[in-house]
Structure 1
């Protein structure tokens, strides 16, 4: 057993996020056969991810604020503290904070067989997609 060292908070990359988003890693694989990663992710009001998918899916537990999650078909789900959203493997989606509140969630996922495929990042979402307006 050992206590894991605290990692510094990192600001997420503008290629993958719009607005201010910070991540604190809680757990990362230590052994070759481990896959799990867990992070606390904090979004400023209106901040959002780009479209992306995960090789093995993802669980997101909202701990503060109001989270918005969107899918390619235009569905938007609002999730509140204490609720957990599951995204299946390969499903394109985005996460965001509501416009008027900070949002925090715990992200839990497993690495893909090739760790480089764990998360596949795509284009940024549009304001219309964020607002649930599809053509």
Structure 2
């Protein structure tokens, strides 16, 4: 009988988030990078207070599961949502948004997304301090 189980191990060491994608101190641990046809990527991301992503989209959408702390999440043109540990969000493909830690608490989440032609995200402009400070 063929063994169809695969043990997933972290694909790369924990690394600092790129300034091309994040503002503030962010640490990323890739947990799963599955092969085709699934192309699933699972990462654990730690955000220090005020750290955040740039505006971005995901070609296949994204699921965020906040594991600790308080997250701020904002879709383009909409009000900021406060997301807490245990909350799970689904963001549809192509939606422009950002997310990160609140101003006073760090946040850790799991991010799940599928790669499309090797790409999981389309990175856009940074969220300015003025945009961030306009939040709760």
TM-score, normalised on structure 2? 0.88
Tell me the SS of whatever aligns to 1:74. Answer: coil
The CA distance in 1 between the partners of 2:58 and 2:92, in whole Å, is: 8
Matched, 1:67 2:77: no
The CA distance in 2 between the partners of 1:59 and 1:4, in whole Å, is: 19
The residue number in structure 1 matching 2:30 is 25
The residue number in structure 1 matching 2:54 is 50
The residue number in structure 1 matching 2:129 is 127
CA deviation map 1:4-32 (0-9, x unaligned):
33331011100110001011111102x33
The CA distance in 2 between the partners of 1:48 and 1:56, in whole Å, is: 21
TM-score, normalised on structure 1? 0.89
RMSD: 1.4
Number of residues paired by the alignment? 130
Matched, 1:115 2:130: no
The CA distance in 2 between the partners of 1:68 and 1:47, in whole Å, is: 10
The CA distance in 1 between the partners of 2:64 and 2:29, in whole Å, is: 14
The CA distance in 1 between the partners of 2:61 and 2:8, in whole Å, is: 25
